[in-house]
Homo-oligomer: A and B are copies of this chain.
């Protein structure tokens, strides 16, 4: 119980820290009148999008809440309440992150104007930290409160199934935020670039371009709000997996309570470590990357130390516990998976390494070779990441098996590994979320005609942000695969618990085989649908931008006082994104429900199949996209003829193809694989 109170305290502390950083951001100057105007435009667009998105998703949430009420014979009405609670927290995390980011952008530009990188980095980081600690704080506090209420106060016999519904709520919002935000941002990005840079020949972020504000809005709704909801879901989901598994598998065992509190303990330690680590992010001695990485490494080190110290203490003298060091192995395996997959992402997407340089070199022979090179590198990175994940999961399983005297204990080890990956979420999101703030600051600097050195400063921050984002995506994907696997095993326990027949899930059973094929297929379908959605939305945007250049007199010539109708461009992107997100998003939830009601064994196969190809496609698409993006940046920095050369044009093609890969389809895939599993887990009693 002590760890429950500590978890609540630390969750609250994170929220206090977020408020503290938020105040620091607000206190900074947002610059001149034009910059403030741009900031207001971006914020208005972003808020309008979020409002419309949440309104649309609310309908969906209500429907699913009703289904939970109708079909599930346990925990009425608390299951539906918990589901809505999870959805609301996730939406709140996205909302707060975005409010801060849309306040920090102009202020970062202003800081860069006044004091260069040295002043801009801390401000951008603090903006990101608001998001990081809000997401983590809401997750830890929100889940601890739910634990207190459902387990300790209500003492509901299905308390842990109810808590699982929180995860489903968070996943629903996360999926729609990622898909909707991803479509919005890429439609605006492609629309702005294709007409602006290529057809009309004006620079990036030129104020004459009607899609530029939409593009800047997109950075916020996709990379900030979408990512916030996504990571909130990952964090909460990773903690729910061991809770739910322990509830089903360790029923009435001596160590069940400790197994419940252990993930909370790891998260609490990680949160404390993240808070400490955040004070280590200071430019000064060393590189920019060094400043950011220092915070991360300090936090991870403290977390590991805490786990090594407190694990034996928690499990000391508990019956049926063989060797609590096994759990330390599980946590370490999780950190190793996250760290190594993040490192693989960096190798494949940072222009400091050979691979991106090679992709850039292939641009000399044209777009076809650069695209082929990115595709093959992306596939290779997926293969390597899977090998790492498989080894790490084997390690975590072995650790869990070592810890408890129970045939399923290894699965608990896998679940704990996912908690380990995400324990320092506070600092990793802070480091990650600063990227889009710097990106936005650059856009504002450009549009407000600030001196070129300001743009250079924000570009330096932004380039670094691309790599930290790739690494954070590696973490997110790694944790998603591990969490989904743990939830998948829990699904079996839930089916057994509900009286269903799933002692084994035999691949050689035709139901399972067919489920495997269908599940393996779904991520391909989902990727196809989301890529097409981006394409269609971008086409609408392109038409609108062309129309404005054609119909607004003096716009292209840059006549004084003539401004594009940016609000209309934002509106078009918003409508397109909301329309396009519905089918892929709903399919991800409907498919397991439909298959589950037909055959639970087929559903088991379906989940395994989608987990595997979803994981592969997520990494493939994220890393191929990241490699193309940075290959383009590498050429822009002067290689192979630099900006405007044929090689650069070829690299831009790769970058554009990578846009929906890395910012829409790829990151959504993480959520899809967990969402499908968690929806199956919750409805398992209804299927049986």
Contacts and interface: CB of A to CB of B under 8 A. Distances in A.
Contacts of A507: 505-507, 512, 604-605, 608
25 contacts: A367-B367, A367-B371, A369-B538, A369-B656, A371-B653, A373-B532, A375-B531, A376-B527, A376-B529, A377-B528, A380-B524, A386-B520, A386-B521, A390-B517, A390-B521, A410-B510, A505-B506, A505-B508, A507-B512, A507-B604, A507-B608, A513-B608, A516-B612, A520-B613, A612-B613
A604 B613 CA distance: 17
Nearest to A371: B657
**Most chain B C-beta atoms within 10 Å of own C-beta, residue among A485, A542, A612:** A612
Given A377-B528, A528-B379, A653-B366, A390 B505 contact: no
A583 interface: no
Number of copies: 2
Contact of A524 (B382, B657, B660): B382
Contacts of A377: 528
Contacts of A520: 386, 520, 612-613, 615-616
Given A383-B521, A516-B612, 14 more contacts: A372-B660, A373-B532, A375-B531, A375-B657, A376-B529, A376-B532, A377-B528, A379-B528, A383-B524, A389-B517, A397-B510, A505-B507, A520-B612, A609-B612
Query: Would you list the 3 A-B pairs with minimal beta carbon distance, nearest first?
Result: A368-B656, A383-B525, A379-B528
A387 B506 contact: no
A365 interface: yes
**Most chain B C-beta atoms within 10 Å of own C-beta, residue among A369, A492, A513:** A513
A40 to B, nearest CB: 32
A535 B613 contact: no
A198 interface: yes
Interface string A572-611: 0000000000000000000000000000000011001100
B393 A525 contact: no
**Most chain B C-beta atoms within 10 Å of own C-beta, residue among A190, A504, A508, A604:** A508
B366 A194 contact: yes
A508 B513 contact: no
A488 B507 CA distance: 10
A379 B377 CA distance: 19
A518 interface: yes
Contacts of A397: 510
A362 interface: yes
Given A382-B521, A386-B517, A368 B508 contact: no
Nearest to A532: B376
A626 to B, nearest CB: 16
Interface of A: 190, 194, 198, 362, 365-369, 371-373, 375-380, 382-383, 386-387, 389-390, 393-394, 397, 410, 485, 488-489, 492, 504-510, 512-514, 516-518, 520-522, 524-525, 527-529, 531-532, 534-535, 538-539, 542, 604-605, 608-609, 612-613, 615-616, 620, 652-653, 656-657, 660
A378 B531 CA distance: 12
Contacts of A198: 366
A648 to B, nearest CB: 14
Contacts of A608: 507, 513, 516
B525 A379 contact: yes
A194 B509 CA distance: 50
Contact of A613 (B362, B368, B509, B613): B613
A383 B506 contact: no
Contacts of A376: 527-529, 531-532, 535
A525 B613 contact: no
A188 to B, nearest CB: 15
Contact of A612 (B505, B517, B529): B517
Contact of A368 (B379, B410, B604, B653): B653
A513 B485 contact: yes
B508 A492 contact: yes
Nearest to A509: B504
Nearest to A375: B531
A387 B521 contact: yes
A673 to B, nearest CB: 12
Given A372-B531, A507-B505, A535-B362, A524 B393 contact: no
Nearest to A382: B524
A594 to B, nearest CB: 13
B514 A394 contact: yes
A467 to B, nearest CB: 22
A90 to B, nearest CB: 28
B508 A504 contact: yes
A372 B657 contact: yes
B528 A383 contact: yes
Nearest to A613: B613
A394 B605 CA distance: 14
A366 B367 CA distance: 11
A133 to B, nearest CB: 34
Nearest to A605: B507
**Most chain B C-beta atoms within 10 Å of own C-beta, residue among A378, A389, A504, A608:** A608
Contacts of A516: 608, 612
Given A377-B528, A397-B510, A528-B379, A369 B609 contact: no
B365 A194 contact: yes
Nearest to A505: B507
Contact of A522 (B368, B383, B508, B656): B383
Nearest to A485: B513
A616 B521 contact: yes
Nearest to A193: B368
Contacts of A657: 368, 371-372, 375
Contacts of A529: 376, 380
A332 to B, nearest CB: 18
Contacts of A535: 362, 369, 372-373, 376
Nearest to A511: B394
B387 A518 contact: yes
